[in-house]
Amino acid sequence: MKLLSLLSLATIAVASPTLLSRSAVPPVDSVSIKGVVYGGSGCPQKTADPIISKDGKSITIDYDSSKYTAFQHKSSSVADSRKNCQITLKLEFPSGWSYSVAETSYAGHVKLDKGVTATQTINYYFSGETDQVTQFASFQGPVDKDFVVVDTIAYEKNVWSSCSSSTELLNVNSALRVEGDGNGRITIDKSKSAFVISLNWKAC
């Protein structure tokens, strides 16, 4: 995991020659999202909008930051400090292909008193499968800043969709949590940067 400030992001480039050498994608416009189901305290209905790119290499999810915020103060509840969003995407693509989650990037703002911690976790898995990938980011107070997180999954640790199907249900379960003695808030904010899931493809 790489945790970057917005100011330093433009000065950093990450090369991944191994990943690029293995890259392959289905034909342009041949991958589509045929169904979306989502819910949770961080993404009530009509507050998340997944879109797949024309080349099938990434899925962008726009969250309503007013909903996807975890916080705590002396009058808040436990529910306020823990937010989650479960999204199930039905992707349709040409037969003979398989895909996996390669990387996730997202941005937001975190403000924490000393002694307060904020965490963000994401689990990816395909319906009916036991294997999953978990990504994790943590912030320690005192802090008050914008942030960008880029999580890259090693190619050999990718969890792949089945080669026997041209439709797969990808589950993206994310959560925000604030805990500790003091005030704190963490927000996933699409105005700073979209939540982007980059995909790997391979021919079966």
The DSSP string of 16-28 is -HHHHHH---PPT
Output the CA–CA distances (angstroms, integers) from residue 82 to 111, 130, 171, 177, in the order listed: 15, 25, 19, 5
Please list, in sequence order, all residues whose beta carbon lies within 8 angstroms of the beta carbon of residue 15, skipping any fewer than 6 positions away. Answer: none
pLDDT, tens only, 69-121: 999 999 999 999 999 999 999 999 999 999 999 999 999 999 999 999 999 99
pLDDT, tens only, 11-60: 333 333 333 334 578 887 889 988 889 899 998 888 888 888 989 999 99
pTM of the complete model beyond 0.95: no
pLDDT, tens only, 136-187: 999 999 999 999 999 999 888 889 999 888 888 999 999 999 999 999 999 9
| Domain regions of the chain by residue span | 2-9+30-203
CATH number of 2-9+30-203: 2.60.120
